[in-house]
Structure 1
Amino acid sequence: MLVNHRLLLTRVRCKCRHYRKYLSSKANLAEIEVPFSNGTKLKLTSGRYARFADGACVATLGNTSVLSTVVSKAKQSSSNFLPLVVDYRQKAAAAGRIPTNFLRKELGPTDREVLTSRVIDRSLRPLFPYNYNFDTQIVCNMLAVDGTNLPETVAINAASTALALSDVPWNGPIGAVRLGHIDNEIIVNPTRRDLEESTLNLIVAAASGNLVVMLEGSAKDILQQDLLKAIKLGTKEAQNIVRSIEKLQKDYGKMKREYETQTPLEQSIVDSVQTLSSMKIREILSDHNHDKLSRDNAISELRQTVMNQLRETEADLNQLQDCFNTNLRQIFRQLIFETDTRCDGRHLDELRKINCEVSLYEPLHGSALFQRGQTQVLCTVAFDSPESALKMDPLTMITSGPAGRREVGHGALAERGLMPVVPQQPFTVRLTAEVLESNGSSSMASVCGGSLALLDAGVLLSAPAAGVAIGLVSTPDERGHVADYRILTDLVLKITWAIWTSKWLELRKA
């Protein structure tokens, strides 16, 4: 009888442990639904997968689901910038397919995966603390995909939620929404079929307070007022996502970790750097006879001179260089606000000198050289049959290598600027852009040179296409908001917009 009682108590205890463990795991499962104005819902779930990661979240829109994980090292990196790596992978199994290559498995990242990784990176990177220099990795794996909902904004929202729930310092969250434009109406989260009819394909990533963090999109013959309306609506819809992530963070988020930073320089040393360099920097930046190389050399020599004069101090050399560079940027901005003139003598709305040449080489179907200031791009056009374009000869397999992420991104910008003006052809058209000199806006120079090369080859474009980069220089107020600003054409600064017009508009904010 006593043995039976003991056996019964043991079974009861085991069941209690099982139920306690089950209830505990269910209690840690975070889940919330975000409604949109068009009736669709975004579902955010955390606590079920990848619990060893610093943060993890599954975002679901329709039947498209993306798992995002965040991991950051506890030891600071030796670099003086944020070593952030974002990887987005879209596997065939997520669509119920088997890869069609010889090995029947996923190989290296495709161009679309690289471009999606760059969009996620540009949405998240600006909100990391300035002095957070720890190796951080964000991985977005597609779990399932339907034929209706696109995964890019789903991945951004999953990564934003994972960062917010993790202990990694981050000044988020953000929300991302895709917008379309059909029959003079702005569409929220358009489907794949909607985008075929839409004249706008825009992704808006925004933080709390209706602050836009990143824009990525393209359009065909859209009015400026419609574009601004789409940005405003996308920012408003993103606030619903931000509030939902903040609620999850309040209920289930981890305490943000404390991290060590370098002791700031003494004010006396900072004053010494400014005293030794400010006047010389103003002289160099005000000398309009300098070009890129001579100006960079003069700044480098001045930097080295200042470092040598402060060698006797116990300050770290990297901190001294950062202090010098900070002073350089401040003076650069001050001169722009004081004179409304840039360091090369141009006004804020003035382009660099442009020179164009076509028909450079007779054997080529089309060629063009586009020069804007010290940015030079050589573009060539080749025609071939569709069958030959798909063949891979042994020489090409040996000599061709994978393109870098930056090359893929800039190539996609130029391609999207030219594709709408190129009519359907019965043959394959290959356009190459070789950047021979780079001093800003090389992707937009590729649009200009590519348009010239296509026209030189006899391709009947619906309209010539041209592109230019636009920079924004701003001064903050006491709250950190923009107090005053200047817009500069044809320059890369703190905020860069890549814009080209014809029947196409491309916006990108870095």
Structure 2
Amino acid sequence: TGVMAAAGSCGRAALGGWAAAPWRRRRWLLVPPDGCGLRLAPVRRAAAEAAPGRRVTVEVGGRKMELSSGKLARFADGSAVVQLGDTAVMVTAVSKTKPSASQFMPLVVDYRQKAAAAGRIPTNYLRRELDRSIRPLFPLGYFYDTQILCNLLAVDGVNDPDILAINGASAALALSDIPWNGPIGAVRVGLVDGETIINPTRKQMSSSALNLVVAGAPQNQVVMLEATAENILQQDFCHAVKVGVKHTQQIIQGIQQLVKERGVVKRTVQKLFVAPEEIVECAKKLAFNKIYAVFTDSSHDKISRDEAINKIRLETEEQLKEKFPEAEPYEIMESFNVVSKDIFRNLVLNEYRRCDGRDLTSLRDIKCEVNMFKMLHGSALFQRGQTQVVLCTVTFDSIESSVKSDLISTAVSGIKDKNFMLHYEFPPYATNEIGKVTGMNRRELGHGALAERALKPIIPQDFPFTIRVTSEVLESNGITIFLILTLILETKFGVPVSSAVAGVAIGLITKSNLEKGDIEDYRLLTDILGIEDYYGDMDFKMAGTSKGITALQVDLKLPGIPVKIVMEAIQQATTAKREILQIMNQTLAKPRSNRKESGPVVETIHVPLSKRLRFVGPGAYNLKRLQAQTGVTVSQLDEETYSVFAPTPSAMHEAREFIHEICKDDQEVSLEFGAVYTATITEIRDSGVMVKLYPNMTPVLLHNSQLDQRKVKHPSALGLEVGQEIQVKYFGRDPTDGRMRLSRKILQSPATAVLKTLTDKNSIVLGGTVPQSSTSSQ
């Protein structure tokens, strides 16, 4: 392992100038090969690679979870494999020793689900949860490129791999020499029949009213929360959070045991990018009063406040450069940031003042305008303070347009189709910036997914349409994803939601004991602005109805907060949510019971088996023609039932007329089972001949196997021609597809047969000669 063979074949090229790139942080040693040539072996980690793998088993929620390290991916700074049941995830952590040029923590997290695990390679939909769980625990100023790779090794369709990935990332970082203040532990909490379940199986999750992911730190601290709920009560939700945090401690202890056994020593960092105290003190003397005046002037809006602070920044940085000419540009900029951040936070902590003049629990003003564009299925403009969203354009489509899950997502979550989608767009002009407008970034994906989860519990499961909601941010000065989404759906778009949903963001400002690392004092802020999110320690987003909670997401910049603060934030968010719901109910009119007249319609039609061939047509020709000419979408629900979706009522009217025309019964003729009729050949095919029993009948296939007692590969072998009349025996219709069953072969036997003649389409008479035949329905 870890050996690079010399270039060339056995002995000849080994001494002739081989080349190999040196591996990072390793010295090379020439090792005599077993046979021929030369090879290289890294000296670094020789002892670790020789040591056997370590593993520890912890019991979480009555089930055993195994964490192991030292067997796979041993060249990585840290690696771990976490297994629950037969689902296993391997996570590796690697960090450079030289700092990055960026002025932030350059952490990259990727979650890979490979074909070997479940037959497909879907998207990296778990990267955000992993990033949010581990990022707060890196040291302040650690700006070194770091990559976390999670590989799904096996999935059993019972246990979710996302929880294992978070725990694997924690173990990999803790077992590496990368500076990190972990470990953390993560569990999923379900709620089935009022009972909390830790790490529920997929089957249990299908009936669970709660899907809560809890990432915890030592001493019962909370690092990350992510939840979707079926409108559960606040007390049940709080109890689930407490139970989840409690069970994360067992995982943390298991990882700590692994670290102790491996004897991990963290590397010495060349440099942490923090502002020097001397420059910070100088910046404070130069700019304190000016910054304080801006932050205490509530007449400022976002634009004017940013302009005032930037003006002070430029002036102060120029003065600092003159006084500290040898200081790096980052040290100058960061010193000003530290001063402005301290002033802003102390105003909240000590004076209970917010920069826009609100008290700590007040909401911004809310305004709403609906039905802005009449041609759309639904549209609305929502404004909260200086945050503006064209909240819904709501679009209805057929059930066939629902999102189809890939195999791995189905194996993990059990969800095959999704007929409610919310897409969140945050263009650069919303904050007066220039940027690339490409596919959705992680912020847009994460916020859109949260809003979608918040609304999904109130969407009727039997709603006959696929719903797509597009939420585009036009102005942003605060959290944008929870603006009045659902009541607009209920009020103007005709979606019969069970109740209105509102959301709010809660912020946190803390004062910590630098020696102990404990939080000495804190303030919770309701409905935070963008600057409060930037300077604060927490982004706590919660949505729900007047009854309970439907979604929650908590992102922290701290390495953990006590459960007590989380409980207070939930209570403060609940109070604000009720206030928003009252404003919504007062502002908007009563819900509209139906959709717009120009909106889409869906109908269900019954097609008997005897008419299915006529409805579908050969090779689905009639269905394709119906959809091409009218624009409708046809979906088969069961053997005799079809759903027809039309984008407009006029399109549905055209579709009805088309279906009536191809399925009408005015040419129906009664045929007697077992009777012999004369058929006219209309077409010769490789598989048989197309025949009619009467002139206006749709031709049916008489297969080669039913043409003669002998085996026939082509009708021409029997000398059959178009227009020729032949005798066939009628055996009714196929019960599965309604096709008419005819046979010429049976008449080749010596058995006697009764020949019947169709003189008109309403009567059947006996006779010795057979006149030209009439038609039968399909």
TM-score in terms of structure 1 length? 0.87
1:130 and 2:140 equivalent? yes
Measured in 2, the distance between the counterparts of 1:507 and 1:272 equals 42
- 8 Å Cα contact 1:368-1:449 kept in structure 2: no
Q: How does 1:206-217 map to 2 (within 5 A)?
A: 206-217=216-227
Taking a change above 3 Å as real, the CA distance of residues 164 and 262 of structure 1, as seen in their structure-2 partners, is closer
- Structure 2 match to 1:368: 380
Shift of 1:388: 5.3
Letter in 2 for 1:63: D
**Per-residue displacement from partner, 1:199-246 (whole Å, max 9, x unpaired)?**
211111111111111111122232322222222221221111111111
Residue 96 (structure 2) aligned to one of 50, 62, 73:
73
Distance 1:43 1:365 in 2: 51
Shift of 1:61: 0.5
Q: Is 1:482 equivalent to 2:519 in the alignment?
A: yes
Give yes or no for contact 2:317–2:336 (8 Å, CA) kept in 1: no
Q: Is the 8 A contact 2:321 2:332 kept in 1?
A: no
Aligned match of 2:70 in 33, 44, 47? 47
Give SS of 2:231's match.
coil
Q: Distance in 1 between matches of 2:262 and 2:87?
A: 24
Structure 1 Cα separation of the partners of residues 487 and 450 of structure 2: 14
**Who is 2:52 aligned against?**
28
What secondary structure sits across from 1:195 in the alignment?
A: helix
Q: CA deviation at 1:124?
A: 0.3
Paired with 2:497 and 2:232, the residues of 1 have a C-alpha distance of 19
SS at match of 1:140: strand
Contact 2:280-2:338 within 8 A present in 1 as well: no
Segments of 5+ residues of structure 2 without an aligned counterpart are 1-33, 35-46, 405-436, 556-778
Task: Give the direction of change, closer, same or farther, for the CA distance of 1:268–1:133 in structure 2 (3 Å limit).
Answer: closer
2:340 to 312, 325, 328: 328
Partners of 2:233 and 2:74 in 1: CA distance: 47
1:449 Cα shift?
3.2
Q: Distance in 1 between matches of 2:273 and 2:470?
A: 49
C-alpha displacement at 1:168, in angstroms? 0.6
Residues 444-464 of structure 1 show CA distances to partners (whole Å, capped at 9, x for unaligned) of 22xx23541453111111001
2:417 maps to which residue?
A: none
Secondary structure at the aligned position of 1:409 is classed as: helix
> Is the Cα contact below 8 Å between 2:82 and 2:90 reproduced in 1?
yes
Q: How many Å separate the matches in 1 of 2:342 and 2:139?
A: 20
Structure with the larger RCO, 1 or 2 (CA within 8 Å, 6+ apart): 1
Q: Is the 8 A contact 1:431 1:450 kept in 2?
A: no
Change (3 A) 1:367 1:255: same
Partner of 1:220, secondary structure, is strand
Instruction: Please identify, of 252-261 and 149-158, the stretch whose mean Cα deviation from structure 2 is larger.
Output: 252-261
| 1:394 corresponds to | none
User: Could you say which residue in structure 1 is the equivalent of 2:430?
Assistant: none
Residue 385 of structure 1 corresponds to: 398
Instruction: Single out whichever of 401-410 and 25-34 deviates more from structure 2.
Output: 25-34
Cα separation, partners in 2 of 1:494 and 1:267, compared to 1, 3 Å: closer
What root-mean-square deviation, in Å, do the aligned CA atoms of Structure 1 and Structure 2 show?
2.1
Matching residue of 1:317: 329
Q: For residues 457 and 443 of structure 1, what CA distance do their matches in structure 2 show?
A: 19
Determine which of 539, 553, 564 is the counterpart of 1:508.
Answer: 553
2:379 counterpart SS class? strand
Q: Does the residue aligned with 2:96 lie in a helix, a strand or coil?
A: strand
Q: Secondary structure in 1 aligned to 2:56?
A: strand
How far did 1:266 drift?
Answer: 5.6
Identity %: 49
Q: Distance between the aligned counterparts of 1:390 and 1:325, measured in 2? A: 45
Change over 3 Å in CA distance of 1:265–1:153 after alignment to 2: closer
Partner Cα distance (1:265, 1:384) in 2: 55
Is the contact made by 1:67 and 1:155 (CA closer than 8 Å) also made in structure 2? yes
1:494 aligned partner: 537
CA 1:385–1:505: 2 relative to 1, 3 Å: closer
State the shift of 1:262 in Å: 5.7
**Unaligned regions of 5+ residues in structure 1, if any?**
1-13, 15-22, 100-105, 392-399
Partners of 1:76 and 1:133 within 8 A in 2: yes
Q: Which amino acid aligns with 2:386?
A: Q
Q: 2:69 is matched by which residue type in structure 1?
A: S
Q: Deviations over 1:326-352 (max 9, x none)?
A: 111111111112332210001111111
**Aligned-pair CA distance for 1:24:** 9.1
Q: Which residue of 104, 108, 114 corresponds with 1:85?
A: 108
User: What is the one-letter code of the residue matched to 1:195?
Assistant: M
* Change over 3 Å in CA distance of 1:94–1:253 after alignment to 2: farther
Residue in 2 that maps onto 1:431: 469
Q: Tell me the distance in 1 between the aligned counterparts of 2:285 and 2:198.
A: 54
- Deviation for aligned residue 1:146: 1.1
Aligned residue type for 1:58: V
